[in-house]
Chain A
Amino acid sequence: MAEAAAALPRPWPRLTAKVGGSLGPGAALLYLCLLVGLPVAALADRAATTHFWSAVTAPQARSALELTVAMAVLTAVIDAVTGVLVAWVLVRDRFVGRGLVNAVIDLPFALPTIVAGLVLLSLYGPGSPVGIDVAQTRMAVLLALLFVTLPFVVRAVQPVLLALDRETEEAAACLGARPWQAFRLVVWPAIRPATAVGAGLAFARALGEFGSIVLISGNLPFHTQVASVFISGRVESGDIPGAAAVSVVLLAVALVTLAALDLVVRRSRRRG
Chain B
Amino acid sequence: MSIDVVNVSKAFGGFRAVDDVSVSFGRGRLTALLGPSGGGKSTLLRIIAGLEEPDSGRVYVDGQDMTHVPARRRGVGFVFQHYAAFPHMTVRDNVGFGLRVARVDRTTRARRVDELLDLVHLQGLAERYPAELSGGQRQRMALARALAVEPRLLLLVEPFGALDVKVRAELRAWLRHLHEQVNATTLFVTHDQEEAMELADQIVLVNEGRIEQVGTPEDLYDRPANEFVMAFLGATTRLGGVAVRPHDIEVFTDPVDGGTQAMIERVVGLGFHSRIEAALPDGSDVTVQLTRAHAHELELRTGDIVYLRAIAGAASHAG
Interface residues, chain A, CB within 8 Å of chain B?
A: 1, 165, 167-168, 170-178, 181, 185-186, 189-190, 271-272
Residues of chain A contacted by B82 (CB below 8 angstroms)? 165, 167
Partner of B97, one of A165, A178, A185, A271: A185
Interface residue SS majority, chain A? helix
Residues of chain A contacted by B97 (CB below 8 angstroms)? 172, 175, 177, 185
Is A170 a contact partner of B80 (Cβ separation < 8 A)?
yes
Give A171 to B156 CA distance when docked, in angstroms: 12
Partner of A271, one of B72, B76, B100, B131: B131
Name the interface residues of B71-119: CB closer than 8 Å to any CB of A: 71-78, 80, 82, 84-88, 97-98, 100-102
Q: Can you name the residue of chain A whose Cβ is closest to the Cβ of B85? A: A168
Residues of chain B contacted by A190 (CB below 8 angstroms)? 87-88
A5 vs chain B, min Cβ distance (A):
13
Residues of chain A contacted by B145 (CB below 8 angstroms)? 171, 175
B51 in contact (CB, < 8 A): yes
Residues of chain B contacted by A1 (CB below 8 angstroms)? 129
Partner of A175, one of B70, B85, B87, B149: B149
Is A177 a contact partner of B101 (Cβ separation < 8 A)?
yes
Residues of chain B contacted by A185 (CB below 8 angstroms)? 86, 97, 100-101
Give A178 to B86 CA distance when docked, in angstroms: 16
Residues of chain B contacted by A173 (CB below 8 angstroms)? 51, 70-72
Nearest first, the 5 A-B pairs at minimum CB distance are: A272-B131, A175-B98, A167-B84, A171-B84, A174-B78
Residues of B in contact with A, size category: 20 to 34
Q: Which of A1, A170, A175, A177 has the most CB of B within 10 A?
A: A175
Q: Can you name the residue of chain B whose Cβ is closest to the Cβ of A188? A: B88
Partner of B78, one of A165, A171, A177, A271: A171
Give A185 to B98 CA distance when docked, in angstroms: 11
Q: Can you name the residue of chain B whose Cβ is closest to the Cβ of A190? A: B88
Give 1 or 0 for each of B139-155: 1 = CB within 8 Å of chain A CB: 00010011011000000
Contacts A172-B97, A185-B97 given; does A178 touch B72 at CB 8 Å: yes
Give A152 to B146 CA distance when docked, in angstroms: 38
B182 vs chain A, min Cβ distance (A):
16
Is B129 a contact partner of A272 (Cβ separation < 8 A)?
yes
Residues of chain A contacted by B306 (CB below 8 angstroms)? none
Contacts A176-B101, A185-B97 given; does A170 touch B72 at CB 8 Å: no
Is A176 a contact partner of B88 (Cβ separation < 8 A)?
no
Residues of chain A contacted by B74 (CB below 8 angstroms)? 174
Q: Can you name the residue of chain A whose Cβ is closest to the Cβ of B70? A: A173
Q: Can you name the residue of chain A whose Cβ is closest to the Cβ of B80? A: A167
Give 19 A-B pairs besides A168-B86, A186-B86 with Cβ atoms closer than 8 angstroms: A168-B85, A170-B51, A170-B80, A171-B80, A171-B86, A171-B142, A173-B51, A174-B49, A174-B50, A174-B77, A175-B72, A175-B98, A176-B98, A185-B97, A185-B100, A185-B101, A189-B88, A190-B87, A272-B132
Give A190 to B77 CA distance when docked, in angstroms: 24
A13 vs chain B, min Cβ distance (A):
27
Give A133 to B4 CA distance when docked, in angstroms: 63
Is B80 a contact partner of A175 (Cβ separation < 8 A)?
no
Residues of chain A contacted by B131 (CB below 8 angstroms)? 271-272
Q: Can you name the residue of chain B whose Cβ is closest to the Cβ of A181? A: B101
Residues of chain A contacted by B73 (CB below 8 angstroms)? 176
Give A193 to B146 CA distance when docked, in angstroms: 28
Residues of chain A contacted by B51 (CB below 8 angstroms)? 170, 173-174
A139 vs chain B, min Cβ distance (A):
38
Give A190 to B84 CA distance when docked, in angstroms: 13
Give A170 to B80 CA distance when docked, in angstroms: 9
A99 vs chain B, min Cβ distance (A):
20
Residues of chain B contacted by A176 (CB below 8 angstroms)? 72-73, 75, 98, 101-102, 149
Q: Which of B101, B145, B149 has the most CB of A within 10 A?
A: B101
B154 vs chain A, min Cβ distance (A):
11
Residues of chain A contacted by B149 (CB below 8 angstroms)? 175-176
Give A167 to B76 CA distance when docked, in angstroms: 15
